[in-house]
Structure 1
Amino acid sequence: HGSLDRLLTSVSSGLSPRKRTTSQCKSEPPLLRTSKRTIYTAGRPPWYNEHGTQSKEAFVIGLCGGSASGKTTVARKIIEALDVPWVVLLSMDSFYKVLTPEQQVTAASNDYNFDHPDAFDFGLLAHTLRKLKLGKSVKIPVYDFTTHGRQKDWKTVYGASVIIFEGIMAFADKELLQLLDMKIFVETDSDIRLVRRLQRDITERGRDIDGVIKQYNKFVKPAFEQYIEPTMRLADIVVPRGGGNMVAIDLIVQHVHSQLEERKLRWDMAALASAHQAQPLPQTLSVLESTPQVRGMHTIIRNKETSRDEFIFYSKRLMRLLIERALSFLPSESHIVQTPQGEDYEGRTFHGKRITGVSILRAGETMEPALRAVCKDVRIGKILIQTNQDTGEPELHYLRLPKDIGEDHVILMDCTVSTGAAAMMAVRVLLVGDSDELHHAEPYVRVLLVGDSDGLHCVY
């Protein structure tokens, strides 16, 4: 993955965050930088229209070809030429089966056939691709070719507008073929493929030249002739010479653009907002009681003559009231304690495992001190979402959530809601994961200071 970088974002430079309140998650959205823009290959969550139904499925491109034929190069050139923000590149190499101890010994001596259909976990692969096509979040295994096993930490990937799926057996399974909207076969001369495989396996996978040649003659070449080459007839497009064939890549890109335009995989904020015009605020929205104290603080905050220090002071006071109000919606149960005088007192206690705060950057971060002030040792996560100026769509730029957040009750913090796009995307990130393991399964409470009516209808 030479052209894939890691997103290294400093959320709070210059400050030393307390260890107990920072996320322990180390996963960060991978990027693919092109000459035109930065493409977020971690994808986006699925979007829903004003009726609550999901948008159309993502467009899936299948890339098949012999080992070292240039499939990944073709995929990356397609991504760069497409110039769309949400793309997932899914490789079959991640879905090799975990080898038994006996098979690992065989693999160490280059006697295990990695180029046979039985070497792949097609069940997990089809399940993963189907979820991605529906726009759902999935976890993808990371295969270690040195140890011939899966690494402990899996990679989380969100849905996308375009999914490019590449592998030597991409057309070998009927269930996978049904998920592909476009099938491409990359054809490259066998001598060139052998040279590329030698270079890759020796430099990247720690193998010796004799072992690579032995494996090629014993398994790779026969597998290509028996399983891979016959599937060329299933392809919609055959690309000779791999990544160097820019004419074929341009034709592919033109077709994909036309398909995306027909599918209209776009975020229709106007339709969501207009669907709730002239309607009362939703019942799921709880407004802080307008007491004289609250109205007094609003008067100071909204006054154009208010100084910066006063604005910050009274905003923090109001935020603390909001956080305390939000905590009243969390589940509680009766609890009896004994007072210093030896008498029993029946009170209430939090009925849950943990409370976690998640800030929608950047404004939501200002609510963190208020949450820390009333919740001891609370864990904090952060989500950065910004609107694309060209498309109007919200884009996920940064995500860091504490581990096992699905077991927690979450306080989602954002100071302002205008269109509701960022807030809705944050909710989808928290709630819409793989159906078997959501990011967040427990109820959550959203806290905000100021909200537009249309935006509130979209979010709540």
Structure 2
Amino acid sequence: MMMSDDDDDDDDDDDDDGGGGGGGIDLTKSRMLTFSKTYKSSRFMEATTMTDNVFDFKSQPRASSASDSGGSEDGNEGDTDQLTPLTICTDLPNNMSPNPPRTPKSPKIGSSLKKRHRAPGSHKPEGTRVLHTHGRRTLYTAGRPPWYNKEGQLKNAFVIGLCGGSASGKTTVARKIIEYLDVPWVSLLSMDSFYKVLNEEQHKRAEANEYDFDHPDAFDFDLVISTLKRLKEGKSVNVPIYNFATHSREKQMKTIYGANVVIFEGIMAFANPELLKVMDMKVFVDTDSDICLARRLRRDIAERGRDPQGVLKQYMKFVKPSFEHYIEPYMQSADIIVPKGGENDVAINLIVLHVHNQLQARGFKLRNKQAQASHNGQPMPDTLHILEKTPQINGIHSFIRDKNTSRDEFIFYSKRLMRLLFENALSMLPFKDTVVETPQGIFYDGRKTSVKRIVGVSILRAGETMEQALCEVCKDVSVGKILIQTNMDTGEPELHYIRLPKDIKDQYIFLLDATVATGAAAMMAIRVLLDHDVPEEKIFLCSLLMAESGVQTVAYAFPKVKIVTTAVDKEVNDKFHILPGIGNFGDRYFGTDFAE
């Protein structure tokens, strides 16, 4: 579940394809499922102006995210505030395949459907979905299931607020909740990221251990509230990176995606009434003050190079009084109080049980609902634009639908059809009048598009086949990529990878997918774009072939999205394949057909 959106200051990190936001992974300690291993096409690395929103595994942490008030509470934790919503876990077993399960093939007409068996090593063992954070984060990737209903509307995430004194064990409790939940896509957001920027005088006080980091005025509550609200809505957020070595925010920001569960922890997590309204569950971590002091001494001396006298001075002057005045009184706001912090497995299990019940109550089975939805007799939506059915178009379709067409011819005629598709889509962009002078000195009244920039976003893998045709008809087009795969156990689409150009919210988007059957993958991709604040009316879904059910599903959920295709077939079978269709487009295009 999947961190910067923009490339302004992150170009060095953008070349490292990774996961739903994240970074700082020690690749020598774990075998990671990276997208670059799965798809070896160099096209995934070509866009230097794009960022790795999902699996930024290779970049090192830029700064400590452990605060003077919280952070690494056991002395061996660190940087957990920037955990990615794409979950979470650890060393993969030796027999695990680095490749994802194959996309299901379309059956041959007239052939009996054979029972599909999972390839060896394609199942993630139950025991692997665990979070480990020892200075550097180690994650394995898990696809994010739908976070919206069949109408395309967002489901709110379940937000857990963790409050407690400095070094009370908040991060340990958060880590154990994530571990015991065993669900994909959990976001962990730390209040340590939201310290205010210090001025020169405050910098001097901080260097002398005279600045109170444990006071409510030290935090930017407006930014905290707006960030947590967007995460609850399932949208992406830009989170500051606070460097405690320099007591300042870095230029770069991390993008964190919304998730099924959002855990927000901080010493002042309950100090603002607006924050409390956002939380679905409020947990107070209560640990003996002697233990907190011992942890803080060990952490600050070992990790931050501070002397014992300075640590004790700061603790007695700021930390302990702040706990008594601003933190302990809010214990009454908690739904659950966890004594002894991370050692209290009974309390943590109760929290996990309640969260599981809440998640089950919010769950949806989208693909089956979409496939079973009755659209018989429903007129095609006004947003559907089908390429005019000329003899040339029929002839090209005859080539690409014919099972005996060679791969070379299939690619050639598919590209011809793609170019015609994009020319048709371009005619729907806004145009304005213009006058030009011809070489003969005569003025010509013409038209000129008012769109400054077009971005193509391909839904992998079949959508990638359309990128070349788009680049041939659109000059200087930017290209992004979204990987959505079907979970072979649940049949639901899952988001695995995102790579989008910066400032995408200001552009017109051509969303590319070779075929659209139920519309489940297209809906998820559109939802991703909307979560990046792209206006719905600026999205064009471009596909060579669509099923009627897919058209109706997308149009019903997103009535302002323009749907552009060359043909619409009537049926989708119980395996979610279009009939009569063109088979598995990706297999036929890339030459990966195999005998059943």
Is TM (by shorter chain) over 0.5?
A: yes
State the match for 2:538 in structure 1: 443
1:114-146 superposed Cα distances (whole Å, 9 cap, x missing partner): 101111122222222223223333322222222
Please give the residue correspondences for 1:272-311 in structure 2 after superposition, counting only pairs within 5 Å: 272-273=370-371, 274=373, 276-311=375-410
State the match for 2:54 in structure 1: 28
Kept after mapping to 2: 8 A contact 1:417/1:450: yes
**Please, which of 361, 366, 390 is the counterpart of residue 465 of structure 2?**
366
State the match for 1:339 in structure 2: 438
2:193 counterpart of 1:166? no
CA RMSD of aligned residues (A): 2.8
Change (3 A) 1:90 1:17: closer
State the match for 2:322 in structure 1: 223
% same residue: 60
* CA distance in structure 1 between the aligned counterparts of 2:320 and 2:435, rounded to whole angstroms: 74
* CA distance in structure 2 between the aligned counterparts of 1:44 and 1:440, rounded to whole angstroms: 23
Please give the residue correspondences for 1:241-252 in structure 2 after superposition, counting only pairs within 5 Å: 241-252=340-351
Change (3 A) 1:85 1:4: farther
Contiguous gaps of at least 5 residues in structure 1: none
Change (3 A) 1:272 1:101: farther
SS in structure 2 opposite 1:314? Answer: helix
2:111 counterpart of 1:13? no
* CA distance in structure 2 between the aligned counterparts of 1:353 and 1:206, rounded to whole angstroms: 52
Kept after mapping to 2: 8 A contact 1:42/1:157: no
Which stretch of the first structure deviates more once superposed, 369-378 or 138-147?
138-147
1:246-265 superposed Cα distances (whole Å, 9 cap, x missing partner): 22221211121122223x23
Instruction: Give the AA of the match of 1:33.
Output: C
Kept after mapping to 2: 8 A contact 1:22/1:381: no
* CA distance in structure 2 between the aligned counterparts of 1:129 and 1:275, rounded to whole angstroms: 38
State the match for 1:47 in structure 2: 148
1:292 Cα deviation from its structure 2 partner: 0.7
**Please, which of 468, 482, 486 is the counterpart of residue 387 of structure 1?**
486
Kept after mapping to 2: 8 A contact 1:45/1:425: yes
Which stretch of the first structure deviates more once superposed, 424-433 or 194-203?
194-203
Please give the residue correspondences for 1:8-407 in structure 2 after superposition, counting only pairs within 5 Å: 8-10=34-36, 13=40, 15=42, 22-29=48-55, 30=84, 31-34=87-90, 35-37=127-129, 46-50=147-151, 54=153, 56-202=155-301, 204-205=303-304, 207-262=306-361, 264-273=362-371, 274=373, 276-407=375-506
SS in structure 1 opposite 2:495? Answer: strand
Instruction: Give the AA of the match of 2:180.
Output: A
Which stretch of the first structure deviates more once superposed, 238-247 or 29-38?
29-38
Change (3 A) 1:458 1:195: same
1:276-309 superposed Cα distances (whole Å, 9 cap, x missing partner): 3431221101111111111111111111111111
Kept after mapping to 2: 8 A contact 1:329/1:445: no
Instruction: Give the AA of the match of 1:266.
Output: F
Contiguous gaps of at least 5 residues in structure 2: 1-21, 27-31, 56-83, 91-126, 130-138, 556-596
* CA distance in structure 1 between the aligned counterparts of 2:143 and 2:517, rounded to whole angstroms: 26
Instruction: Give the AA of the match of 1:32.
Output: I
What is the aligned residue count?
Answer: 452
* CA distance in structure 2 between the aligned counterparts of 1:280 and 1:23, rounded to whole angstroms: 42
Kept after mapping to 2: 8 A contact 1:413/1:448: yes
* CA distance in structure 1 between the aligned counterparts of 2:457 and 2:23, rounded to whole angstroms: 32
Instruction: Give the AA of the match of 1:36.
Output: T
Give TM-score scaled by structure 1 length: 0.89
